[in-house]
């Protein structure tokens, strides 16, 4: 491209401009009288958050014509998929974190970081209001405002308590590194407490009853990790506790690991049953007190059952940050869990604010419009029906554009649509058979509400960060050359192609060196071989060679010496 040469020239000039600006600031403390032209042109990008979305954006951003200010209460990136391993000491906390400053240190873009939290977004005046991290030892709650040209909101989400009484006061969450460390201490603390000679058997059993609320991937993985920790390490050190330990999973739905293939769900439930992990399905927690958890069991006439516990881990999905909720009110987005963006990740109604990761959701109204258009095009004779072959082409087109449709079809509730799809793909139907478009569209619109949200995963957040950085990297070129390369156009709607999520599969570690893997193309693998796949994928996905080396060392240490049970 001829514009590449231009881009290189721009990079060189603005890079030089940045050095001059930094020198002027650090030596005189006053603003330079006549800043270089390239400096005036620098657009200020404020990034809120150093999680999966924010960090992948920062890693990929390479155009030095931006001044980037990162603001987050956490001065590191945490590899969350290994957090359950931290709860039991399989992996150490420091092995899965990387300081954000070292991630951006060698970048050609000017990136600076402030350890603070944003408490208000003022879209009208293009400002964010922040205060020092209340946890930091520096000067309490200083507040300050930061201007931006572009704002990237990547603040993640909060654990969702569904306003259940007692959850905040008595439950552990598993969201942050500190949570995992706290859980590790509490588990060991429970074993120490239960070893005291003053306890009755009943009290000992209560203390050693570990309850996990939520049978999603995080809750299930934690339960499996805890089971391994107890049986491989703790019972050797606390032999008297052996008969008293109980692990229970409370799940409000009909099955655990709902979003996985039925084969995985069945395998996990049977495995846990064999190992003595009590999976209580259809159990909705309605209240938690300091020693008891109350559940409403479906089919029990609404009767409330109370279960004595020693420790609870609450893992029932995610809710909205108060800052995001306030901002949503400000811009008229109410009754949503997350900020609605368009398919270019711009917050709806704003050209300069982007939202990605767990705090955002792409508004999929366009999906249904697109789906309707695809059907219309395929229905050449306007008969309202398609042959199986035509239908198959339509489905392939939809699934290629919207992998989340395919993903959601895996959900148990969507089985009938999955069957329809299967049929359309020729497994059952004959070539001559015709399928009714309206009926299928009706069925598809039922999943529309489900399709509104991409899954809240690191995979989505990281891909969104990379996508947005690529857009930013090309922004200047695209602005200067609006009629330029075809890749910037996309039917005149925007300069860039819309974000498209690519699903690479998901894992559910089930303990005992066994993992369930559900990979694209309906490929399911469960067992020891998938555990090795899990080790390799996660080791390769770690953010740096340092963390990779530390995690592999931790895994080896655990194999050789077992997990450490010191309560420090
Ligand atoms: P986060 O990674 O949560 O980052 C949010 C950032 O915003 C943080 O840096 C935070 O400090 C910062 N922040 C918070 N408040 C403010 C504020 N007021 N101002 C400024 N910054 C703020 N996903 C997978 O794909 N695979 C897995 O195996 C997997 N396992 C998981 C296991 C656990 C235990 C958990 C908790 C999650 C797991 N996930 C997994 C989900 C994944 O971690 C999230 O989807 C992902 O972290 C979302 O990325 P994010 O950048 O949106 O948010």
pLDDT in tens, 245-266: 999 999 999 999 988 888 999 9
Question: From the centroid of its chain, how far is CA 85?
Answer: 17
Name the residue of 46, 48, 51, 177 whose CB sits within 8 Å of the most ligand 1 atoms, as the mutation to test its pocket.
51
> What's the whole-number mean pLDDT along residues 504-521?
91
> Which residues face 153 on adjacent strands?
48, 355
Give the confidence band of 378 by pLDDT, cuts at 50, 70, 90: confident
pLDDT of residue 39: 52
Determine the average pLDDT of the residues in 506-513: 94
Among protein residues, the one whose CA lies closest to atom 27 of ligand 1: 81
Q: Averaged over 304-312, what is the pLDDT?
A: 95
pLDDT digits over 466-488, tens only? 999 999 998 877 776 655 444 44
* 53: exposed, middle or buried (Cβ count in 10 Å: 0-12, 13-18, 19+): buried
For the stretch 451-456, contacts whose Cβ atoms lie closer than 8 Å and that sit 24 or more positions apart, written own/partner, are 451/364, 451/367, 451/402, 451/404, 451/405, 451/408, 452/361, 452/363, 452/364, 453/337, 453/338, 453/361, 454/361, 454/362, 454/404, 454/501, 455/259, 455/404, 455/407, 456/157, 456/317, 456/318, 456/358
**Nearest atom, ligand 1, residue 71 CA:** 20
What DSSP line would sit under 164-226, residue for residue? -TTHHHH-EE-SSHHHHHHHHHHHHHHHHHHT-TT--HHHHHHHTEEEEE--SHHHHHHHHHH
User: Which is higher by pLDDT, 90 or 372?
Assistant: 90
99 versus 408: which is more confidently predicted? 99
String of DSSP letters for 385-448:
EEEHHHHHHHHHHHHHH-HHHHHHHTSGGGHHHHHHHHHHTTSSS-TT-EEEHHHHHHHHHHTH
Determine which residue's CA is closest to atom 14 belonging to ligand 1. Answer: 155
* Confidence at residue 420, expressed as pLDDT on a 0 to 100 scale: 57
- CA dist 479 and 40 (Å) reads 17
By the 8 A CB rule, do 442 and 469 touch? no
Angstrom distance (rounded) from CA 418 to CA 399: 12
Query: DSSP labels for 89-157?
Result: TSS-GGGGEEEHHHHHTT-SSEEEEEEEEEEEEETTTTEEEEEE-TTSSSSS--EEEEE-SEEEE----
Cβ neighbours around 93 below 10 Å, total: 18
Q: How far apart are CA 158 and CA 319, in angstroms?
A: 5
Residue 53 has pLDDT above 60, yes or no: yes
How wide is the angle at C-alpha 172 spanned by C-alphas 166 and 175, nearest 5°? 120
Atom of ligand 1 nearest to the CA of 117: 19
Beta bridge partners of residue 511, listed in sequence order: 514
Residues above pLDDT 70, as percent of the chain: 76
**Alpha-carbon gap, residue 476 to 473, rounded angstroms:** 7
Distance (angstroms) between ligand 1 centre and the Cα of 156 equals: 5
The predicted-structure confidence for 162-209, as pLDDT tens digits, reads as follows 999 999 999 999 999 999 999 999 999 999 999 999 999 999 999 999
**Residue 412's pLDDT is what?**
39
pLDDT band at 106 (very low <50, low <70, confident <90, very high): confident
Average pLDDT of the chain is 82
Dihedral sign (CA 248, 253, 255, 259): negative
pLDDT of residue 136: 53
55 within ligand 1 shell (Cβ under 6 A):
no
Residue 94 predicted with pLDDT over 60 = yes
Q: What is the pLDDT of residue 386?
A: 72
Q: What is the pLDDT of residue 446?
A: 52
Beta pairing partners, 78:
97
Contact 179, 171 (CB under 8 A): no
Least confident of 25-29, 88-92, 177-181, 237-241: 25-29
Q: What does DSSP say about strands 172-173 and 311-314: parallel, antiparallel, or unpaired? A: parallel
Please state the separation of Cα 93 from the chain's center in Å: 19
Q: Is the pLDDT of residue 140 over 60?
A: no
- Give residues with Cβ within 8 angstroms of 368, minimum separation 6: 444, 445, 448
- Structure tokens that stand for 251 in this block: 């799940």
Q: Which has the minimum average pLDDT: 11-20, 69-78, 344-353?
A: 11-20
Is the per-residue pLDDT at 445 higher than 80?
A: no
Q: Which two tokens stand for residue 459?
A: 């995979």
Continuous segment of H or E residues that includes residue 339: strand 339-341
Q: Hey, which of 56, 69, 70, 80 would you mutate to test ligand 1's pocket, going by the most ligand atoms within 8 Å of its Cβ?
A: 80
* Structure tokens that stand for 407 in this block: 């993903």
Nearest to 77 by CA among 62, 61, 91, 57: 57
Tell me what pLDDT residue 470 has.
92
How high is the pLDDT of residue 504? 87
**Percent of the chain at pLDDT above 90?**
59
C-alpha to C-alpha distance for 560 and 421, rounded to whole angstroms: 48
From the CB of 316, is ligand 1 less than 6 Å away? no
83 lines ligand 1 (CB under 6 A): yes
Return the residue matching tokens 């209460």: 73
Instruction: Work out the average pLDDT over 3-21.
Output: 31
Q: Are 443 and 417 in contact (CB under 8 A)?
A: yes
The tokens for 473 are 């990297």
What lies within 8 Å, CB to CB, of 164 at 6+ separation is 285, 286, 287, 288
**pLDDT value, residue 538:** 95
Q: How far apart are the first and last CA of the chain?
A: 58
Does residue 536 sit in helix, strand or coil? helix
Determine whether 523 is exposed, middle or buried from the number of CB atoms within 10 Å of its CB (0-12, 13-18, 19+): exposed
CB atoms within 10 A of CB 509: 25
- Inter-residue contact 376 to 390 (CB < 8 Å): no
pLDDT average, residue stretch 417-428: 52
Categorize the per-residue pLDDT at 272 as very low, low, confident or very high, splitting at 50, 70 and 90: very high
Sign of CA dihedral 299, 317, 544, 407: positive
Predicted confidence at residue 151, as pLDDT, reads 97
**pLDDT value of residue 203:** 95
Q: How far is the CA of 213 from the centre of ligand 1 (A)?
A: 20
Q: Is residue 98 over pLDDT 80? A: yes
> Is the minimum distance from the CB of 47 to ligand 1 under 6 angstroms?
no
Between 447 and 282, residue with greater pLDDT: 282
pLDDT tens-place string over residues 27-47: 333 333 444 545 557 899 999
Atom in ligand 1 nearest the alpha carbon of residue 507: 28
């Amino acid at each position: 491209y001829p514009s590449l040469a231009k881009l290189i020239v721009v990079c060189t000039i603005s890079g030089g401009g940045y050095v001059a600006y930094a020198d002027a600031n650090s030596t005189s403390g006053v603003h330079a009288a006549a800043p270089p032209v390239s400096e005036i042109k620098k657009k200020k990008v404020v990034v809120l958050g150093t999680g999966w979305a924010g960090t992948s954006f920062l890693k990929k951003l390479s155009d030095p014509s931006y001044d980037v200010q990162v603001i987050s209460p956490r001065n590191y990136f945490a590899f969350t998929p290994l957090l359950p391993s931290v709860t039991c000491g399989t992996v150490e906390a420091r092995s899965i974190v990387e300081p954000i400053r070292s991630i951006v240190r060698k970048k050609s873009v000017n990136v600076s970081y402030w350890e603070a939290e944003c408490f208000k977004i003022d879209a009208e005046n293009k400002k964010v209001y922040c205060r020092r991290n209340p946890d930091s030892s520096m000067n309490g709650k200083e507040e300050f405002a930061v201007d931006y040209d572009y704002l990237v909101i990547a603040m993640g989400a909060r654990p969702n308590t569904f306003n259940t009484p007692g959850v905040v006061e008595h439950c552990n969450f598993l969201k942050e590194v500190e949570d995992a460390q706290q859980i590790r201490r509490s588990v060991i603390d429970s074993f120490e407490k239960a070893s005291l000679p003053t306890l009755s058997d009943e009290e000992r059993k209560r203390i050693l009853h570990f309850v996990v609320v939520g049978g999603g991937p995080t809750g299930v993985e934690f339960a499996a990790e805890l089971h391994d920790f107890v049986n491989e390490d703790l019972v050797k050190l606390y032999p008297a506790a052996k008969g008293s330990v109980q692990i229970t999973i409370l799940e409000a739905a009909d099955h655990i690991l709902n979003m996985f293939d039925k084969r995985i769900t069945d395998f996990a439930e049977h495995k846990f049953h064999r190992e003595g992990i009590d999976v209580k399905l259809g159990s909705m927690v309605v209240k938690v007190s300091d020693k008891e958890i109350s559940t409403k069991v479906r089919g029990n006439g609404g009767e409330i059952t109370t279960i004595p516990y020693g420790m609870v881990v609450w893992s029932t999905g995610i809710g909205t940050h108060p800052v995001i909720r306030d901002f949503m009110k400000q811009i008229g987005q109410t009754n949503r869990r997350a900020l609605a963006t368009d398919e270019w990740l711009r917050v709806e109604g704003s050209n300069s604010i982007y939202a990605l990761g767990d705090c955002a959701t792409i508004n999929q109204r366009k999906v249904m419009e697109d789906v309707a258009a695809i059907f219309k095009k395929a229905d050449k004779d306007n008969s309202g029906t398609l042959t199986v072959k035509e239908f198959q082409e339509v489905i392939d087109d939809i699934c290629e554009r919207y992998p989340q449709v395919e993903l959601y079809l895996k959900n148990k509730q969507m089985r009938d649509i999955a069957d329809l799809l299967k049929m359309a793909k020729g497994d059952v139907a004959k070539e001559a058979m015709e399928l009714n478009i309206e009926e299928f569209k009706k069925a598809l619109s039922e999943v529309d509400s489900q399709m509104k949200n991409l899954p809240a995963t690191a995979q989505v957040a990281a891909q969104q960060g990379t996508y947005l950085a690529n857009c930013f990297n090309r922004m200047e070129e695209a602005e200067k050359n609006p009629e330029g390369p075809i890749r910037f156009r996309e039917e005149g709607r925007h300069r860039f192609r819309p974000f498209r999520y690519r699903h690479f599969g998901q894992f559910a570690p089930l303990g005992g060196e066994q993992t369930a893997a559900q990979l694209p193309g309906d490929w399911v693998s469960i067992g020891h071989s998938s555990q090795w796949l899990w080790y390799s994928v996660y080791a390769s996905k770690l953010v740096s060679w340092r963390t990779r080396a530390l995690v592999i060392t931790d895994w080896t240490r655990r194999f050789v010496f077992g997990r450490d049970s010191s309560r420090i």
